[in-house]
């Protein structure tokens, strides 16, 4: 079996973890959202704990979907 690389994309409202095969094909993608608060006009905040929890959840989903022993990076 080919090695797998996991890419992580953290945006304003969600994090994605995507598993790719050695040839670049996508094997699995998990996406978890997190809140964006707007405490005052023009002010936006996020809690880094939400980022972390979302990332862990997305990575766990990827690990369940593929053979985690194949992950090289």
> DSSP of 4-71, one letter per residue?
EEEEEEE-SSEEEEEEEETTS-EEEEEEEE---EEEETTEEE--HHHHHHHHHHHHHHHHHHTTGGGB
pLDDT given at position 73: 77
Q: What is the pTM of this model?
A: 0.87
DSSP secondary structure letter of residue 2: -
Q: What is the pLDDT of residues 3-14, one digit of tens each?
A: 999 999 999 999
pLDDT tens figures, 30-51: 999 999 999 999 999 999 999 9
* Residue count (the chain): 73
Tokens encoding 49:
């704990």
């Amino acid at each position: 079996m080919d090695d797998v690389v996991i890419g992580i994309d953290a945006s304003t409202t969600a994090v994605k973890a995507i598993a790719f095969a050695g040839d670049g094909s996508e094997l699995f993608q998990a996406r978890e959202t997190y809140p964006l608060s707007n405490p005052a006009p023009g002010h936006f905040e996020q809690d880094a704990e939400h980022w972390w929890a979302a990332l862990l959840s997305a990575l766990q989903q990827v690990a369940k979907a593929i053979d985690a022993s194949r992950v090289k990076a």
